[in-house]
Amino acid sequence: MKSFLFRIVAIISASLIAANLAIGNAISELVANIFNGINSAIKFLSERLMIAIDSDRYNHASLAINQSGELMELKLLAAANRVKEDAVKTRVWTINHTIAINKIANALFFSCRWEKERIHGYFKPLVESIPGMSYMPGDDFDNRTTV
């Protein structure tokens, strides 16, 4: 009898927990959809108001936002060139140069969505243009990547 009651309680408990999770997920999804809809409406209305108030300023701001990714990419490439110039100027490649190049490569990979092949294709000639340097790519873009 104990075994039977134990199984019944276990089955009922598992069913109640599963039902509770399903209801919770449905409520969470509904709330998220409501708030996402409200955010979309606010965005739409705000954009229309800003366009009505000053369409030139709105268009300029939109272009600036769209170009911010490209600007970041250019800043990263300029930083890589500064690392190279510093190594050429000092005639020594230090661990700090390696760390800087790795951070730039990581930013290009994660923030600018560069492919690994493109990153290696960019950094290989950059690093090998430094007298006595050779480029040894790592397997991943993380803190262990070495140049």
Q: What is the mean pLDDT of residues 71-95?
A: 95
Tokens coding 19? 């039902």
Q: 137 in a domain, yes or no? A: no
Q: 122 in a domain, yes or no? A: yes
Cβ(133)–Cβ(93) under 8 Å?
A: yes
Give the helix ranges, DSSP H, for 91-113: 95-110
Q: 145 in a domain, yes or no? A: no
In DSSP notation, 40-55 reads HHHHHHHHHHHHHHHH
Q: 142 in a domain, yes or no? A: no
Number of domains observed in the structure of the chain:
1
Tell me which residue has tokens 């069913």: 15
How far is the C-alpha of 58 from the C-alpha of 30, rounded, in Å?
33
Q: 136 in a domain, yes or no? A: no
Q: 143 in a domain, yes or no? A: no
Q: How many CB atoms lie within 10 A of CB 17?
A: 10
Could you list the residue range(s) of the whole structural domain that residue 66 is in? 2-128
Cα angle vertex 129, ends 128, 131, to 5°? 85
For residue 113, name the pLDDT band (cuts at 50, 70, 90): very high
Give tens-digit pLDDT for 24-49.
999 999 999 999 999 999 999 999 99
Q: 50 in a domain, yes or no? A: yes
| CA-CA-CA-CA torsion sign (49, 50, 52, 58) | negative
For residue 147, name the pLDDT band (cuts at 50, 70, 90): very low
Cα angle vertex 86, ends 100, 119, to 5°? 45
Q: 86 in a domain, yes or no? A: yes
pLDDT attached to residue 139: 55
Give tens-digit pLDDT for 47-70.
999 999 999 999 999 998 889 889
Question: Does residue 140 register a pLDDT over 70?
Answer: no
